[in-house]
Chain A
Amino acid sequence: MSAKPWQISNIPGPKTASILKSGEAVAKILKKAKRPILIVGARIVTEKVDGEPLVKYVVELAKLGIPVVATAHSRKILLEHGVKPVATMPLINITNMLKDPEWKGFDGNGGYTHAIFFGITYYLQSQMLSALKHFAPKLITISLDKEYQPNATWSFPNLSEKDWKEALEKMISSLKGG
């Protein structure tokens, strides 16, 4: 299965993201992930998916114990929803740390294995995923946004609102289902 970048001209090169076929597929990857981290951006402040605010899914993932990094101005809405981010910083700061092989993570227990990107401006996210593709080749990056991100390791294809919501719901229920 292949997909075209959401922004048509965003064609990076020979190595492009594998497609996440469903919410369950994401859950499968995340269940095996040793040290995942969730990075959220400006879109979680205002954006909705088929009527549900994006932040709802951040709350769910945080409840499952995945640490959350608040980038852009997403911190405030997280706090309002009872999520205390492990860090608040520009998106590029966390990207920069993730590509440092010496970095020991926010808890000092070692680097992260999986970086999940959610609710982040498409082209900025693409650039950050590109940095990680090239300079942190061992890190697995996952985009949960509804647009295909070719620079990630894993990305949804371009989804309709309805399909996106379904994928996110399934992802959460599968993760909860153990």
Chain B
Amino acid sequence: MNQFQYVRPAQVPGATKAITNGANTQFLAGGTNLIDLMKMGVVAPEKLVDINNLPLKKIEGNAGGISIGALASNTEVAEHPLIKANYPLLALAINAGASPQLRNMATVGGNLMQRTRCPYFFDTAMPCNKRMPGSGCGALEGYNRMHALFGASDKCIAVNPSDMNVALTALDATVHVSGVKGKRAIKISDFHRLPGQHPELDNTLQKGELITSVDLPASPFNKNVHYLKVRDRTSYAFALVSAAVALNIENNTIQGARLAMGGVAHKPWRLTETEAFLKGKPVSLDVFKQAAQIAMQGAKAYEHNKFKLTLAPNTLLQALKTASGLKA
């Protein structure tokens, strides 16, 4: 690993100043993504700003919703009584990711920011527009089994690897950030971006901005939820495809639905049209099958990920069935 400067500020302003001043500077939270990338030579920051001493660990209920500190560990979030009671979808998604050891280390801020697992991004001998803009996309005509179905570009077909982000997207989270220019709140749907011509940008965070918390609004989606993750082994692997489903069902009628898929796009893929279709419909296999088809509109596969065109709607269908309790 390259050498770097190390600073450990105790307060948020110190952290945002420290990051703004340096050219190639990064925040260090749990380290489970950043240290890995540094060992691989994918990134080589000249300075790390260790944010672990900042007072950003609290998880607390607020006017109807909840505020999750950026430094709360993935385990702390998934095990928190308020999360389990009011946002079980988030707990399910987090627990479907990584391993217990990694979830103990991984933070909410770091998870939001984690980089893609595209093998061309990780292999510094390969072209990758995300790692080295202008070098080309190795995956486009290469081994693209893990790659996107939606919203990709000719510059990048990588996917966002996070499970937590899929649930946060379905649950309409807001990301609170703080920078030297002040604070702002970013809707989760505007936080991660599609690759377009600039795949080197994973999200809309500005240089120097620190994620301070992730807030969730009050949610009626605490009962009929499911997170279904399909991967190459039963546990401890990234998603090929995942589906986060939250339904508000009254008298067998779907009052509202919140749906998102993982492993299919450069950002967690919210299914707004499918949600609109489901609203007011009865819980039935036929309705869910139609919903799964609507969700796939606009999907485009590459040479090695064509199986996802079948896997994705099937995953969503199964998640809808499990969340609603529909047998058959």
User: Do A and B belong to a common assembly?
Assistant: no
List chain B positions with a Cβ less than 8 A from chain A: none
List chain A positions with a Cβ less than 8 A from chain B: none
